[in-house]
Chain A
Amino acid sequence: MELLTYTFVQYAFIGGVAMAVLTGMLGPFVVQSRQSIASDMFAHVALAGIGGALLVGVGPWWGALPALIFVSTLIWWLLNSGRYSPDALAMFFLSGGLALALAFVHVAQDTVFSFENYLFGSILTLTFIDLVAILVSTSLVVVVVWYFWYPLLGATQSPRYLIPFRRTPQVVQLLFFWLLAIVVWVGIKTIGGLLIGALLVIPVLTARSWASSFKQLVVLSTLVSVFSVSLGLITALYVDLPPSSLIIGMAIGLFILQAVASSARRNKRV
């Protein structure tokens, strides 16, 4: 427990719980809208932003945010044009973002920079400024989701709720993309771009059979997410494994546990 007195451990827990709240809260909207792969696409786009920031000499993580907001808006516009299928667009931006990131990093020739920190996260290296940015982002996302709860629920339904003569669902969908962009931005700093998708999806799959309303689902998936992150971080203090892998491992473990419990519950009913 002495380890918990270290500042970097405290920062990791605070940042980790904030990220868990973000993924637990937005995850059900992501799964409901069939946009699970979008987080992966956004993460790769963020890598291009990180590469661009290296080129111009800005902090890499900060470069990812404008890239994410710009590309999420572009993707929203392309999807609404109806000319491209979502999976084709996802692959286009996923591969394109990675290719661009590789090119930028190569040109920047920064010998200290490591992609690994952003692909698999570096939650134990959070600074005070990082933490402030994460907490501000979390507060912003929670307030926006709270305020636009029902419009977001309607816009992410499949098929989404259609309102005659109004563009509201499309505009709310853009808001949803921006929220997802912010979650991915926090995610690449904490758990990693390649793993953030797991925290958006697995807690929802774990909680879905125990909820009867969307609100219950969000609360339960947030609890599962916070529990997975906390347990994963505590384990990382004692086991020599990357925190990100332990966090996702805990989430998968909880999913398997609930699958067994759900199956037992169904058998009992029969």
Chain B
Amino acid sequence: MNNSVIKVNNVTKAVAGRRLLDDVSFEVAEQSLVSLIGPNGAGKSTLVKIILGLDTQFEGSIVIGSKERVQYIPQLSMTDEHQLPMSVYEYIAIATNRLYSKNKQNVDFKQALIHVGVSAEKLYQSYTSLSGGERQRVAIARALLGNPTILVLDEPLAAVDYASRSGLYELIRHLQQDHKMTVLLVSHDIDSVLPLSDQVLCLNTSLHTDCHPSQFVTEGGAGSRTIHHHC
């Protein structure tokens, strides 16, 4: 196993007497793609916020190397009718600093879009006119501009139509290998993440076990899969 870049040690979080996370411990190896799966309410998003330092009210510890550059792509929403107009350029520029020239920024932004399979012409179009798959790709492009060593994605397929899903996961895997990143991917879509992940973590308040995909056995029809752990 490579060096661990994320160490989660005995993390417990309770709100109003209810345990959202119960003694969760695991390590994420450098340059691996790790999927965190579990049903709704399992504590996945809570754990991600703790790992990212966005939630500091918990017991236990998180260890991430000081030299690591972390980028986070939150779950996208396609149903926000009150989102005001914003161009793709503005959406990307939110995450970048203004220390370099606008011309160079234009070139970098266009290259980042092409890199994730989105036409450079979309840079000045309205962000809200994009499809769910395109929005997710633009979000990935924005994150990659931060040159991350660790990329955390929360439910990247949530707002993506079924036909675009496999392509998006393949892109994430390809970028992870290409950029030599460590990717932590949160999902409840077990079928899609299994073939692409180096490691799958099954969370339901507590971590069931740390399993390799090959150690999963699935049964039942689509949408009714059951996971058995053999660790």
Interface residues of A (CB under 8 A from B): 28, 31-32, 34, 150-151, 153-154, 157-159, 161-165, 204, 208, 211-217
Partner among B70, B94, B98, B125 whose Cβ is within 8 Å of the Cβ of A157: B94
Partner among B52, B83, B126 whose Cβ is within 8 Å of the Cβ of A213: B126
Which A residues touch B125, using CB under 8 A?
212
Q: How many A-B residue pairs have CB under 8 A?
A: 66
Is there contact, CB below 8 Å, between A164 and B95?
no
Is there contact, CB below 8 Å, between B53 and A153?
no
Interface centre among B53, B70, B71, B85 (most CB of A within 10 A): B85
For the complex of A and B, 4 pairs with smallest distance between CB atoms: A213-B87, A154-B94, A164-B52, A212-B126
Given A164-B72, A212-B125: A217 and B94 interface contact (C-beta under 8 Å): no
Which A residues touch B85, using CB under 8 A?
208, 211-214, 216-217
Interface centre among A28, A214, A215 (most CB of B within 10 A): A214
Roughly how many angstroms separate A213 CA and B93 CA in the complex, as a whole number? 12
Roughly how many angstroms separate A163 CA and B96 CA in the complex, as a whole number? 11
Is there contact, CB below 8 Å, between B52 and A162?
yes
Q: B63 interface residue, CB < 8 Å from A?
A: no
Given A150-B93, A164-B70, A212-B126: A217 and B52 interface contact (C-beta under 8 Å): no
Q: Report, as a range, how many residues of chain B touch the other chain.
A: 20 to 34
Roughly how many angstroms separate A256 CA and B129 CA in the complex, as a whole number? 25
Is there contact, CB below 8 Å, between A164 and B94?
no
Given A153-B94, A157-B94: A214 and B52 interface contact (C-beta under 8 Å): no
A to B CB contacts below 8 Å, 9 in the list: A34-B82, A150-B94, A150-B98, A162-B54, A162-B74, A163-B72, A213-B85, A213-B126, A215-B87
Is there contact, CB below 8 Å, between A213 and B86?
yes
